[in-house]
Amino acid sequence: MPAVTETLETVQSVTQSGYKWGFETDIEMEMAPKGLSEDTIRLISDRKGEPAWLLEWRLKAYAAWKEMEEPHWAKVWHPPIDYQDIHYYAAPKKKPGPKSLDEVDPELLATYEKLGIPLKERAILAGVEGAGAEISAAPGIAVDAVFDSVSVATTFRATLAKAGVIFCPISEAVRDYPDLVRKYLGSVVPVADNFFAALNSAVFTDGSFVYIPKGVRCPMELSTYFRINARNTGQFERTLIIADEGSYVSYLEGCTAPMRDENQLHAAVVELVALQDAQIKYSTVQNWYPGDAEGKGGIYNFVTKRGACRGARAKISWTQVETGSAITWKYPSCVLEGDDSVGEFYSVAVTNNRQQADTGTKMIHIGRNTRSTIISKGISAGRSNNTYRGLVRITPRATGARNYTQCDSLLIGDQCGAHTVPYIESRNPAAKVEHEATTSKIADDQLFYCRSRGLSEEDAVNLIVNGFCKEVLKELPMEFAVEAQKLLAVSLEGSVG
């Protein structure tokens, strides 16, 4: 039997044996009735105590959405989604804060434990009264855990507050920093930008808000753990990050989700705004439930992520490691408005079994001497399909603009697909655009070469895949690099290596 076939079988047996992070938390939920209407939106807005302008904004998005059609240009397929068969609001029932961890719902704690959240942080996340104070001085990562739709708690607020950094659930930001939210919300991704962004704008329930003041280098990595946790609850996160002039922030987003049978819709929107000389580094490790080996279940991840470099020399850098979800539809993009601004996109997308990924980026060069770099690594195994789709647009004003794109695909087995769809539009003769693409297979002779040196087949695949992704993995912050390698090992060891 050829080595690759055997690997795949090994891998499939591992995958089928179970999704490692597939657990479900049974917590009392308050849910809105199924379906989407103006009433649902009014209910969400009311539950969150929102100002009138935001309700109007939502209703405008809803009106636009009703007129729009689900996009079908991506190389993915799914059965029709019944948007009226989804709960658009679910929140853990509010009780007065527990006095100690003993009073916290053990299910919730167990979830945190499975997520690997340190004990002290668990207390804060669970909302234990007074738990935050003692560790506020600890260096490290600030976590704003989104437990389903409501941000349960935010940590490290004190350290951040000292630096003037605002890091809080977006619902709180609406209340506490309405001017900032109103100024920037929807300014990068307008309410009617696309079908899923319009849906998100209408019904988003929570997400994170970050503001870094002028000249401030955020003193720690910011991190959010998103979890999809309620049965049949679509999750609509809304994230807004603003880096004021000369500031810097690195934001880490990591995801795991419980195992379940029904497909779940996830349509998040992330907006980044980098003003003059500001830098935003946004890193994602996405490991949502991909469905079983036959393609049953799994998350539909239809996300709109976009950043705007609004001033000269601003820089936005996206790094993503996408291993999960049944379907990924995601194009983190940069609008390079400021002169000399820089956009970067580093991506590893892994698909196995019946997973489908259509992901890439858009680099819109508007300012002079704007530069962008795109490095995309797609890995397909099983019967999956993996598509890179990217747009590089050079507008007439963008004299001296430069882009470098590299798209590499790695195939494992002979039943998967890799596709590269680059769109290049240059309307300025003084711009330079480079595109390189390769497609390769993990060859039997590579595996045999490694095995003849003593490596197990699984280690061999791992080594080859990690080598293939190296240029992207090295862009991840240290905190994520290890987790990402582990994920590749699990989903690729379970799917490739």
Partner 1 sequence: MSLVIDNLHAGINGVEILRGISIAVPSGEIHALMGPNGSGKSTLGYVLAGREDYEVTEGSVTFDGRDLLAMEPEARAAAGVFLAFQAPVELPGVGNANFLRTALNAIRRTRGEPELDAVQFLKMARAEAKRLHMPDDMLKRNVNVGFSGGEKKRNEVLQMALLRPRLAILDETDSGLDIDALKIVADGVNALRSPDFSALVITHHQRLLDHLVPHRVHVLAAGRIVRSGGPELARELEARGYAGLAAEAA
Q: Is 390 exposed, middle or buried (0-12, 13-18, 19+ CB in 10 A)?
A: buried
Which one of 130-138, 142-150, 152-160, 461-469 is the stretch in contact with partner 1 (CB under 8 A)?
461-469
Q: Is 481 in the site for partner 1 (CB under 8 A)?
A: no
- The residue among 3 and 293 lying less far from partner 1, judged by its C-beta, is 3
* The one among 49, 79, 80, 454 contacting partner 1 by CB under 8 A: 454
312 CB contacts (<8 Å, ≥6 apart)? Answer: 276, 277, 338, 339, 340, 341, 367
Least separation in angstroms between residue 449's CB and partner 1 is: 4
Least separation in angstroms between residue 1's CB and partner 1 is: 6
Amino acid code (one letter) for 274:
A
Which one of 242-250, 379-387, 414-422, 453-461 is the stretch in contact with partner 1 (CB under 8 A)?
453-461
Which one of 45-53, 333-341, 460-468, 484-492 is the stretch in contact with partner 1 (CB under 8 A)?
460-468
**C-alpha dihedral, 166 to 167 to 171 to 172, nearest 10°:** -50
CA atoms of 326 and 382, how far apart (whole Å): 13
What are the structure tokens assigned to 216, written together? 């401030």
Draw the binding track, 170-199, toward partner 1 (x: CB under 8 A; -: no contact). Answer: ------------------------------
Least separation in angstroms between residue 378's CB and partner 1 is: 14
What are the structure tokens assigned to 265, written together? 């819709």
Beta strands in 11-94 (DSSP E): 29-31, 90-92
- The residue among 244 and 457 lying less far from partner 1, judged by its C-beta, is 457
Beta strands in 324-416 (DSSP E): 327-330, 333-336, 342-351, 356-365, 371-380, 385-394, 402-411
The 3-state DSSP class for residue 100 equals coil
Draw the binding track, 391-430, toward partner 1 (x: CB under 8 A; -: no contact). Answer: ----------------------------------------
Least separation in angstroms between residue 485's CB and partner 1 is: 13
Which one of 43-51, 234-242, 428-436, 465-473 is the stretch in contact with partner 1 (CB under 8 A)?
465-473
Least separation in angstroms between residue 386's CB and partner 1 is: 18
List the interface residues with partner 1, window 428-447 (CB under 8 A). Answer: 440, 443-446
Least separation in angstroms between residue 53's CB and partner 1 is: 50
Q: Is 379 in the site for partner 1 (CB under 8 A)?
A: no
Q: Is 106 exposed, middle or buried (0-12, 13-18, 19+ CB in 10 A)?
A: exposed
CB 394 within 8 A of CB 427: yes
User: What's phi and psi for 123, nearest 5 deg?
Assistant: -60, -45
Q: Is 18 exposed, middle or buried (0-12, 13-18, 19+ CB in 10 A)?
A: exposed
Q: Is 466 in the site for partner 1 (CB under 8 A)?
A: yes
Least separation in angstroms between residue 486's CB and partner 1 is: 16
Q: Is 448 in the site for partner 1 (CB under 8 A)?
A: yes
Draw the binding track, 3-42, toward partner 1 (x: CB under 8 A; -: no contact). Answer: x--x------------------------------------
* The one among 52, 67, 139, 452 contacting partner 1 by CB under 8 A: 452
The 3-state DSSP class for residue 117 equals coil
Least separation in angstroms between residue 452's CB and partner 1 is: 5
CA atoms of 411 and 323, how far apart (whole Å): 15
366 CB contacts (<8 Å, ≥6 apart)? Answer: 335, 336, 337, 395, 397, 398
Q: Is 478 in the site for partner 1 (CB under 8 A)?
A: no
Q: Is 496 in the site for partner 1 (CB under 8 A)?
A: no
Burial 172-210 (b: 16+ CB within 10 A, else e): bbbeebeebbeebbbebbebbbbbbbbbbbbbbbbbbbb
- The residue among 7 and 385 lying less far from partner 1, judged by its C-beta, is 7
- The residue among 232 and 466 lying less far from partner 1, judged by its C-beta, is 466
The site for partner 1, by CB under 8 A, has a size of: 28
CA atoms of 18 and 468, how far apart (whole Å): 26
Q: Is 455 in the site for partner 1 (CB under 8 A)?
A: yes
Q: Is 474 in the site for partner 1 (CB under 8 A)?
A: no
Q: Is 105 in the site for partner 1 (CB under 8 A)?
A: no
Which one of 7-15, 37-45, 131-139, 467-475 is the stretch in contact with partner 1 (CB under 8 A)?
467-475
Give, for 294, the enclosing helix (H) or strand (E): none
Least separation in angstroms between residue 344's CB and partner 1 is: 19
Q: Is 337 in the site for partner 1 (CB under 8 A)?
A: no
- The residue among 93 and 453 lying less far from partner 1, judged by its C-beta, is 453
Q: How far is CA 337 from CA 300, 311, 315, in A?
A: 32, 7, 11
CA atoms of 362 and 331, how far apart (whole Å): 7
* The one among 469, 484, 487, 488 contacting partner 1 by CB under 8 A: 469
Which one of 239-247, 254-262, 327-335, 466-474 is the stretch in contact with partner 1 (CB under 8 A)?
466-474
Least separation in angstroms between residue 430's CB and partner 1 is: 33
CA atoms of 211 and 369, how far apart (whole Å): 27
**C-alpha dihedral, 377 to 381 to 385 to 386, nearest 10°:** -10
By CB under 8 A, name the binding residues for partner 1: 1-3, 6, 440, 443-446, 448-457, 459, 463-464, 466-471
